[in-house]
Structure 1
């Protein structure tokens, strides 16, 4: 198993991502965080269709002063080094791990 893992880690990043996706697709979906997320998404979709969920136009959100302040706060945190952003591929890998 360790030899296989070591060989996989030598692959170029895109090939490693493809391998992870292919292996993850062969595993059954486990109940837990992934199932809870799906249930919450379905609940929100139902609320939306029933007209019980407030939605916002993206342009309005981007023009909102409070949201603009939040975006600025987060930019300052990243620029100062207080927060380190996670590359999207790493974030997706973490999400996949939660769904297993």
Structure 2
């Protein structure tokens, strides 16, 4: 396992402050998308939802629409989500970068 400082990202990340909601089988919470890439999201939760690594989640926001993904990591009130890649997901992320950034 590599240390966080040595991690090489597949896609560059953009800092954001997009508000939204994350839901999984153990709960749901509003929060903020802290950073965004074509493949993933760092989401800061307002409430602990008991998200576990490997668990499927849905993300809803006005700017991004409806996305799905898998929890890759949890650290305090933040979770890392690897997006399920599809042409629809790619279009939604591209639209955000084009119109909202």
Q: TM > 0.5 between the two?
A: no
TM-score bracket, normalised by the shorter chain, equals under 0.3
With CA pairs under 8 Å and 6+ residues apart, which has the higher RCO, 1 or 2?
Answer: 1
TM-score between the two structures when normalised by the length of structure 2:
0.20
| Structure with greater helix share of residues | 1
Query: Quick check: which has more Rg, 1 or 2?
Result: 1
| Structure with greater strand share of residues | 2
